[in-house]
Every structure is written in C-alpha cells, then in structure tokens.
Structure 1
C-alpha cells in the first residue's frame, strides 16, 4: 500500500498537471484504487508510477478512468425499483414531459433499467434521460448499450423482483456473447461528461439518480453534490441515492420527505 504522503503527492500533481481535483474523494477508497492500478500495470515503485502519470497523457487518461470507475448492474436493489415503479412513475405520469438525470451513470446499466420502467409505464416517449459521468471510457460503453450476455440471467432476476412482467429478453438482441439493448431505449438518452466536483447544474429535473457514487466522496464533497442536486431538482421531484448514502447531514430535512424507507426522497419545497 502506498503511504498517505504519497497519495497526497499524487492528488496534488494530478491537479497541478491536469487540473483534475481528486481532493474531495475518500482517501481510503482512493488509496485502494491507486494501489490497484499500480498492481495491474506492474509498478512496484510509486514514483515511477507518478512519473508515468505526469509525462504520459494517454496513460494519465487510462489511470483516471480505472480509478474513477464505479460498479453497477441492472435493477440493482430491486426493491428500490419496485417503489419507483409503483409509487414514483404514477406521479411523474401527470407531467407533460419528464426529465431524469443519472449522475455518475458509469457503464449505463441503471439508465437502461429506468428506460425499461418508463417504457412499461407508457412514459418513455415523453421522457429524456440525461446520463453523465466523469469517466469517458464508461460513457462510451453506456452509449452502445452492449453488456455481457452472461449477466442477463442475474439482471432478469432483478427485473422480476422489481415487478417486471415481460420477457426480459425482449429488450435486447444476443450476439457473440453480448446483449445489445434496443435502440428504442437509447434514443431517449443523452450521454455527456460531467464532474460532480467542479461542474454546475445544467437543467431542472423531475428525478435525479446518484446511487453508490457519494460513498467515494468525503463529507464536504458529498454536501456539495447534494446541494447541486437540490439546485437541479424541481419542486416535488425525486432524489435517489445508494443504500449507504443519505441527505441527512447535507441539507435541511424539512425540504424533503423520504419515500417508503428507500434511499429515495421527494423535494417538498
């Protein structure tokens, strides 16, 4: 494991050379990820790794992509999606147009999950899903809508538990070990890079997803992100976080009500 002083040097040099601020990320998580990329690429000496980062722009991009990637899956935490299906979508259905932001969308499984829910509720054609991430590599994967075929059994199970009634295989075409999801879903999506550390609000949304991203941030950055979501969320809109995340310490509680004990809040004023 690298030392704390080496991690601080890495954070400072990345910011100095590239303007990319990792200072708000959880130190423990960041240290694990830096060690992982060093081991993957065969670096036994931290300063050799740091030199490669500073003077090889292509390697810097690859390393940052590896460090910032998040784990995701379709219909992750199915009980959450069941609440969205039964309690949130009927309320969104009253709107003339629905805007949803998936912040930290990673490789896109969550975005496609939500698109399927919207389609089954008859709302997809009046919805647009903005999917953003800091990581350009995973955004390219998300745009393609292609995921490993071996994951479809698990994803289909999640879908069923979430209340899905259709044949899940209707939503994708299997080809050479991959599952390519329907263009009917992806044409309602807009993918772009967005940095929760430094970028600002860019629209007003009826629902914002940021699930299992804030756990990688320190307390100050979590508060900044929650306030960014608050600025971006319409009154009576919904904010969805991961199972270990909360708005409790970041924003006035009287402005939000929790929905069905899930990590899902509705903005009341």
Structure 2
C-alpha cells in the first residue's frame, strides 16, 4: 500500500481542486465550513484520513464522506483535534482568579462562554474557580464546540484517573484553595465531577465559522481555536466574539493568538499580554 502522506508525485493543482471540492461538499452536506482554514494543516489532515480509509485520492474520500455519516465523523475528528486539560496554563487561571474574578463579581449575573470547548476540561476549571470565588450560583457557563462527539464526552464530566495528578498540580499552581479531590468521585478507574460543578454548565454545538452570537457574556475563552484559520476567517470570528462581549467584558485567547493586526485591536485594552487577556473598551 502506498504511503499517502508522501504525496509529492500527486499533481498539486489537481490536489487543490479536490480539496476545495471536498470542503465545499462537506459544507453543503453537513454545514461544517473548513474552507478558510489554514491550508497546509488542512491538507495534512485530509491525507491522513484518506490514508487511514485506504483511499488513493481525495475524490474517493469525498464520495465516502458524502454517503457515510460515520466516515464524515471520522474526518471531522481529524480536522478538529482538541488539546485540552484542566487548569491548562495555571498562571493564566491564577491571574483570572486574582484580578478578573473580583471585577466579574460586580455583575449581578455572570455569563461565561468557552468557545471551542473540546471535551470540557476548561469549562470544568472555570466552574471550580467560580465556586471558590462564591460566584457559581449566580453564573452560567456556556461551553460550545463544533464536535458533537466531544460534547457528549464533556457532558459526562468524567476524568481519566491517569490525568488526576496533572490536574491537581495545575489546580494548585493556578491558586486552588481546596483539596482537588473534593471536586470528584472515583469509581472503576474513572473520576466523575460532582453534579454541583456540572449543573452550571450548558454544553451545546456551535460553529464559530457559520453560527451567530447567541448571548452577551462577561468573559469569553477562545483559546487555540483561531490558529487554524486564515486571516479573513480570524477577522470574522473576532467580530463574533466582540459582538458577544458585554462592555468591559474580557476576552481570553491562546498564547499564539492576539487581537493585534485585526480591525478590533483598538477596541480592547490589553489586560495581560503574556496570557492574551483583553478587556473590551466601554
């Protein structure tokens, strides 16, 4: 079997046409729009899926995903690869705990949006911080993602036992005030978060590329999502995030992302450049 990841003999122009046709077909058939994602990464992932399915051309992959929903889900899992953990980048969570939470607490009700939440670990972390700040009862966390499979996992609130020590370490480094074990129960090799943490989180499917704003939020996390987008798509998503923030609201991006070089740069105060925390100007 040919190694399809080594595609140098493949006609570059034909390859690009096939990729464009595949992405257009996926958009029209399933409503997922990857047409403006960064091309090199997209190309690698599409060929990986073709290779795994033992298909010699992208056109054959297109035919398969159009007629087989399960095949499309497998392709989607390659195009949207979540990298997440609880209290990832503990310094960022510590800064939010110490400097942002007191400001959020001035609101009568706090709405949080985790855009591109993957399997929910970041939303779980925020719920724990809100509880320790005595704000969870007046908060609602909206955690959205393009992948229904990831959302189904997130709703279960389950954590693999082999990740607990890492998460406990992150939690303490992020300024955690309790015993991390008090937030979950262990059973048959899995840890399940307590219902009091999960009940304030709404997990829902939302596509940043095609869907609109659905509420106004005091803080939005959209970390390491736009690194896969081209310039035009990043601009569109920044518009969506800006329109979704309340005046004085906070936007938290990934460490390789920024509002700089977008048309929204002048509409934010840089709250912390290291952790890419911005505050919408009133």
Q: Normalising by structure 2, report the TM-score.
A: 0.90
Aligned to 1:129: 141
8 A Cα contact 1:148 1:177, kept in partner: yes
Aligned residue number for residue 225 of structure 2: 213
| Structure 2: unaligned runs, 5 residues or longer | 8-14
In structure 1, stretches of 5+ residues that fail to align are: none
Q: Which moved more, 1:172-181 or 1:102-111?
A: 172-181
Does structure 2 conserve the Cα–Cα contact (< 8 Å) formed by 1:69 and 1:138? no
Aligned to 1:182: 194
The Cα offsets for residues 27-52 of structure 1, whole Å up to 9 and x where unpaired, read as 12212222333344443443332221
Q: Tell me the equivalent position of 2:122.
A: 110
- The counterpart of 2:151, out of the listed 139, 145, 149, is 139
Q: Match for residue 161 of structure 2?
A: 149
**Counterpart in 1 of 2:278?**
265
CA shift at 1:233, angstroms?
0.3
- The structure that has the greater radius of gyration is 2
| CA 1:200–1:168: 2 relative to 1, 3 Å | same
User: For residues 85-107 of structure 1, what are the alpha-carbon distances to aligned partners after superposition, in whole Å with 9 as ceiling and x for unaligned?
Assistant: 00000111111110001111110
**Normalized against structure 1, the TM-score is what?**
0.94
Matched residue, 1:48: 60
Aligned to 2:99: 87
Report how many residues are paired.
Answer: 269
Alignment root-mean-square deviation, CA: 1.6
Q: Is the 8 A contact 1:69 1:135 kept in 2?
A: no
3-state SS of 2:272 partner = coil
Bigger Cα displacement from structure 2, 68-77 vs 112-121: 68-77
Q: What does residue 68 of structure 1 align with?
A: 80
Residues 231-267 of structure 1 show CA distances to partners (whole Å, capped at 9, x for unaligned) of: 0100011000000000112233332111232210011
Asked whether the 8 Å contact 1:65–1:136 carries over to 2, the reply is no
